[in-house]
């Protein structure tokens, strides 16, 4: 039976762009998105469910990043 050699693990590469910490102003609730888009909150949930609005699920809640919502509004 041959002995296996352990190869050295290369150090992790630093990210090319540093992420900044999110603040309360960066994260929006469905109600805040609904007010911004002048839509019912139920429509915001439906658009998020279909993947038409970018969102993140945190447990049972859904949160939206303001930058992503604004980019969608501007067509970016």
Return mean pLDDT, the chain: 85
| Predicted TM-score of the model (pTM) | 0.69
Question: What is the rounded CA–CA span in Å between residue 18 and residue 47?
Answer: 30
Q: What is the pLDDT of residue 64?
A: 96
Q: Is residue 39 a part of any domain in this protein? A: yes
Q: What is the pLDDT of residue 15?
A: 63
Give the number of other Cβ atoms within 10 Å of residue 30's Cβ.
21
**C-alpha dist (Å) from residue 60 to 14, 54, 75:** 33, 16, 29
pLDDT band at 23 (very low <50, low <70, confident <90, very high): confident
Question: What is the rounded CA–CA span in Å between residue 48 and residue 39?
Answer: 13
Q: Is residue 7 a part of any domain in this protein? A: no
- Of 13 and 1, more confident: 13
pLDDT band at 55 (very low <50, low <70, confident <90, very high): very high
Q: Could you tell me the end-to-end alpha-carbon distance of the chain, in angstroms, rounded to an integer?
A: 59
How many domains is the chain partitioned into structurally?
A: 1
Q: What is the DSSP letter of 62?
A: E
Question: Which domain does 50 fall in, by range?
Answer: 27-74
């Amino acid at each position: 039976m041959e002995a296996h050699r352990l190869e050295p693990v290369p150090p992790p590469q630093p990210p090319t762009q540093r992420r900044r910490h999110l603040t309360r102003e960066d994260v929006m609730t469905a109600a805040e998105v609904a007010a911004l888009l002048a839509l019912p909150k139920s429509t915001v949930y439906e658009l998020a469910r279909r993947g038409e609005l970018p969102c993140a699920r945190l447990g049972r809640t859904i949160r939206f990043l303001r930058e992503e919502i604004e980019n969608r509004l501007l067509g970016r």
